[in-house]
Amino acid sequence: SQQGEEDPQALSIQEGENATMNCSYKTSINNLQWYRQNSGRGLVHLILIRSNEREKHSGRLRVTLDTSKKSSSLLITASRAADTASYFCATGGGTSYGKLTFGQGTILTVHP
Amino acid sequence: DVKVTQSSRYLVKRTGEKVFLECVQDMDHENMFWYRQDPGLGLRLIYFSYDVKMKEKGDIPEGYSVSREKKERFSLILESASTNQTSMYLCASSLVNMGYNQPQHFGDGTRLSIL
Residue of B nearest to A41 (CA): B108
pLDDT at B99: 73
Mean pLDDT of all residues in A25-33? 91
Examine residue A8 and say whether the peptide bond preceding it is cis (omega within 30 degrees of 0): yes
pLDDT band at A58 (very low <50, low <70, confident <90, very high): very high
Q: B74-105 burial, b if ≥16 CB within 10 A, otherwise e?
A: bbbebeebeeebbbbbbbbbbbebeebbbbbb
Beta-carbon separation of A104 and B40 below 8 A: yes
Q: Which among B30, B43, B48 has CB closest to A102?
A: B43
Q: What is the full per-residue pLDDT of chain B (115 aa) written as tens digits?
A: 769 999 999 999 999 999 999 999 999 999 999 999 998 888 999 999 999 999 999 999 999 999 999 999 999 999 999 999 999 999 999 988 777 778 999 999 999 999 9
* pLDDT attached to residue A90: 94
Residues 30-89 of B with CB under 8 A from A: 30-31, 33, 35, 40-43, 45, 48, 50, 56, 58-59
DSSP E strands: which ranges in chain A? 5-7, 10-14, 19-24, 31-37, 43-50, 55-58, 61-66, 71-76, 85-92, 100-102, 106-111
Question: Which is higher by pLDDT, B1 or A15?
Answer: A15
Mean pLDDT within A89-96? 80
Q: Chain B 84-113, CB below 8 Å of chain A: which residues?
A: 90, 92, 94-97, 99-109, 111
Residue A1 clears pLDDT 50, i.e. is over it: no
Q: What is the pLDDT of residue A95?
A: 67
For residue B103, the 8-state DSSP code is P
B78, containing H or E segment = strand B73-78
Please report residues of A whose CB lies closer than 8 A to that of B104.
Answer: 35, 43, 45, 90, 98, 100
User: What is the reported pLDDT for A7?
Assistant: 86
